[in-house]
């Protein structure tokens, strides 16, 4: 039995508590929150000890692994405290607020031999798992375009991060994971519409080494929750609804093949539409099972800290691009030109 605990049992942390409680080979030993009321409530619901001081909890309960689900601007301080005490940890996404903080977390975990996983949960969405498998088999052919739409109403509880690092980091991570190649340049635009402190609307364009183009459309200003991903290649288009865990493939009937030299001249044509059967499961349960497995085996989790650091780097580059109206070239990390060059 591995002993698990959760620090920060607000809206996301309490899901971790529930899932640890149901996970085989894991014993939920305690919860901690700086709010006595919140900690006591969740402790009582799950009949485990609760703490407002997480250091005391670590000392007394000695968990083997901990989920850190405090607000993003606290990930660094609490995360380092845990790493210093050699506690394996899963930090909710994004890994931290700044690149320096994230880098220190990753380096300290490496030096201390601590497993550091990050909660980029979409990698555990069963529709994404199936999509990735089929992309690798070449079902869509050569990829031209990946398009992510993540639209939401405004979340009043998030006060420490804007929509780029809080929400778009999901899609940046997904694009990196699905295409599995370096991003060579990017350009972003943001808007502060409802929230005057931080951006709540983001549009970004990025280019991968293969030439594929990624487009991100992410905001907190939409009265409908949308989580869609489309990927277009030579052989057709995948359409994935991340919320309903549905995956479709729209075949390009005239996809070029080695037997039909003329097909390229006919362009793209509507072909069959394939609904792909998905074995649905809760992504968080798969994410925590993956983390627990890495702790047990000493292996690498599906989202190691180093990977989340790269995703944060891209998110922050998008912010810089938007603020300074620049195209950011990522191969040599130099800014190569002004926005007008895109036109």
Q: Contact residues for ligand NAD (CB under 6 A)?
A: 7-13, 32-35, 38, 54, 69-72, 74, 78, 92-93, 119, 121, 157, 166
Q: How far is CA 265 from CA 143, 235, 261, 269, in A?
A: 19, 14, 8, 11
Residue 121 vs 330, nearer CB to ligand NAD = 121
Non-local CB neighbours of 69 within 8 Å, separated by 6+ positions = 6, 7, 8, 9, 10, 12, 13, 16, 92, 119
Least spacing, CB of residue 162 vs ligand NAD, in Å: 11
In 3-state terms, what secondary structure has residue 48?
Answer: coil
Residue 87 vs 327, nearer CB to ligand NAD = 87
Least spacing, CB of residue 36 vs ligand NAD, in Å: 10
In 3-state terms, what secondary structure has residue 300?
Answer: coil
Residue 303 vs 328, nearer CB to ligand NAD = 303
Non-local CB neighbours of 92 within 8 Å, separated by 6+ positions = 8, 12, 13, 67, 68, 69, 72, 75, 118, 119
Residue 72 vs 219, nearer CB to ligand NAD = 72
In whole angstroms, give the CA distance from residue 41 to residue 143. Answer: 49
Beta strand 88-92 with 201-208 is unpaired
Residue 41 vs 110, nearer CB to ligand NAD = 41
Residue 8 vs 43, nearer CB to ligand NAD = 8
Please give the full DSSP string across 189-201, using - where no structure is assigned.
EEE-SS-SSS--E
Residue 119 vs 305, nearer CB to ligand NAD = 119
In whole angstroms, give the CA distance from residue 28 to residue 18. Answer: 9
Token pair recorded at residue 112: 């201390």
Contact 72, 166 (CB under 8 A): yes
Contact 164, 128 (CB under 8 A): no
Least spacing, CB of residue 106 vs ligand NAD, in Å: 16
Least spacing, CB of residue 309 vs ligand NAD, in Å: 15
Least spacing, CB of residue 341 vs ligand NAD, in Å: 34
Which residue is closest to ligand NAD by CB? 10
Q: How far is CA 109 from CA 6, 86, 142, 288, in A?
A: 18, 8, 37, 18
Least spacing, CB of residue 294 vs ligand NAD, in Å: 17
Least spacing, CB of residue 125 vs ligand NAD, in Å: 10
């Amino acid at each position: 039995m591995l002993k698990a605990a959760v620090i920060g049992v607000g809206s996301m942390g309490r899901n971790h508590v529930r899932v640890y409680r149901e996970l085989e080979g894991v014993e939920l030993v305690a919860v901690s929150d700086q709010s006595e009321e919140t900690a006591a409530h969740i402790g009582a619901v799950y009949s485990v000890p609760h703490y407002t001081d997480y250091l005391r909890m670590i000392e007394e309960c000695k968990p083997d692994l901990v989920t850190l689900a405090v607000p993003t601007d606290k990930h660094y301080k609490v995360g380092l405290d845990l790493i210093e005490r050699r506690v394996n940890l899963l930090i909710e996404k994004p890994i931290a607020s700044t690149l320096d903080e994230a880098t220190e977390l990753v380096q300290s975990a490496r030096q201390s031999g601590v497993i550091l996983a990050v909660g980029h949960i979409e990698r555990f969405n069963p529709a994404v798992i199936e999509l990735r498998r089929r992309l690798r088999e070449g079902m869509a052919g050569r990829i031209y375009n990946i398009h992510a739409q993540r639209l939401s109403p405004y979340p009043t509880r998030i006060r420490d991060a804007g929509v780029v690092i809080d929400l778009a980091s999901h899609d940046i991570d997904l694009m990196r994971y699905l295409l599995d190649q370096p991003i060579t340049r990017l350009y972003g635009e943001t808007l502060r519409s409802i929230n005057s402190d931080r951006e709540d609307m983001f549009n970004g364009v990025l280019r991968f080494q293969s030439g594929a183009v990624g487009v991100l459309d992410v905001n907190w200003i939409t009265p409908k929750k949308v989580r869609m991903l489309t990927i277009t290649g030579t052989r057709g288009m995948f359409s994935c609804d991340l919320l309903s865990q549905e995956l479709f493939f729209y075949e390009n009937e005239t996809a070029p093949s080695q037997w039909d030299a003329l097909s390229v001249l006919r362009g793209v044509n509507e072909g069959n539409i394939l609904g792909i059967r998905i074995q649905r499961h809760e992504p968080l349960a798969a994410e925590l099972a993956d983390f627990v497995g890495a702790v047990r085996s000493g292996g690498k989790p599906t989202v190691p800290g180093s990977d989340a650091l790269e995703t944060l780097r891209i998110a922050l580059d998008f912010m810089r691009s938007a603020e300074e109206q620049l195209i950011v070239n990522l191969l040599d990390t130099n800014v190569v030109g002004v926005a007008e060059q895109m036109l």
